[in-house]
Chains A and B, each alone.
Chain A
């Protein structure tokens, strides 16, 4: 390409974009629950180690591949190892993961928009029991027409942002939204400190409970770390290719890792105190966000504000990640077919939007009436399970093997910057990518096969 590649305008711009993409819905609705269930503090330590020794090294590696090759995920492999083109499968996997996640992410984000609207309008103020709240949510997800509208709206807004380019679109909007997200999160946590359940929530999250901690918790922590740092999804390749040459990748990796960790804990402190204050059981997923929380928010002083704030947080969280998914697909398409950004973004968005329609209809059975009967779960869950159980660990495995073994040492050293005492850090990084990370990811995959 003759045009100069667009770059992030500043380090801070990149950090917000990376952070925004890393903080996804999983951080909000899965992390707190998984931590509590797996032994609280003990698990947290494990998670911290996994972030440091598994996720951050791969994060640095993905950025490095993107920056060095100035390509998105597929092209990065092709440029860095022309002799072994087979590795590019790892890049294709990343692209597929981003595509598949985006297809159902916007459906869930669409529910979030509905709830934001409902909170603003007080649509569920009259509801008295948790059962009615549940019925309300069921009605929503079984109304494909409504869900379709939000699915399209969410995809369209995301598309507009990515369409505007790296600086004016991705960087600018990720920055705004991530900042807003952090502020909202902080406000809710501060508010939660006044609640009676705060102490119990802190205990649930931090107190080491060895009874809940198993060997499988270690694998779970690794998987979670991998997932919460948006690895194996092609994102950091694309973002890395927009990072300036003089930036220190190691520093960026550590900062993002630390920030993700901090935000995850904040999210837990934003949600569980509310749950515990009313004596509800901890829970995860859609039931927590769309059934339990709205019901409980209603009972709080200033509940309407909290609910509105929470669902804004929810939508921002989804959107900053969605931007990255569309960007991954679009930037790969641009390079594979030599088309311009605007066109690639439109193709990417139109296709994820179309592929998402069965997910919109997943709960009403309009498109595939017997899907649940054949696959044992609805369409949306099927795509989710396929991606998070198989494609992400598999892609991660290929990436770590590639960086550890296939990428040229000279390139790695140059990109890592091994001046002075940093050579030691480089050796550790390389050791992790060569042995520790592939083995852990392999174990995760094996664990799936044997149902450990």
Chain B
């Protein structure tokens, strides 16, 4: 089996680009990744990509060039980017391609998502009754988690405060203004216990990652980042998931539990080995719960870890160093690849003001998407 290296990363900054379509933003990300790797579009042998709301990724070829490459569209909720990367990783690993690309982009309307129940195997009543709302799920999951594991409202506010502070250090973030504790605590309650500034916003943007067989990585870059694992796992029975009219009697493991365990095994590493983490922070409670679901602490330990500053850029377990979804917004198709972009910057030592000190060697990314799947990666230099 071939080893896999990342040799090119590109992003069209997340936020709002009124003059550009989602596809345009995806194409910009691809061009930046190609420049980063010193490759031309015709060099890409296989590509996987997707958006939720901005069209088929294959249409990118119309402006990037019709080169006969194999291009597969991916549509996997918020885990679209992670799923595209996993497919590209497997294409290299299997030996079927030497150079591959994963690309994601999106362009969402402002305001909360309004999914169609039919797209998710649900009947119309679920949406008509006002239950097809992702913010409700996130609020209800953390509401119970706070009681079961002693997480405080204060900690959830501090997670958001950290995200916007990190965003203020990142020239490519959408939200670049640090918010005070009171700004967050006094913002509108959207879905109790979570307020406006504790939720990420649907946004626009694009991200692209170029991978190759590790044997040839040095042709393209002096600093390859090795992709040691790229794993996607869907929910197990009993896991508490979004868009679920009912929940099983017994609680099962979240998809992130299985995805992280399988990724650690594939990469031959453990959760204590990592220097920098990107964990899906759709809202501030998600970051807290995903710390434990991915094995980086026990359930309940987050309270102390966050309060003591362990998850800050200069802490022992830096999380969402680029500001995460909270400061970058969420163009669904691109979001998971933004995390990989950020970890590559960190491992290359190119993250500037938001650089984790001490030359991080091992990084982790994690996206979670509807209706209950997780995509994770292990990255190493």
Is the pairing of A and B real?
no
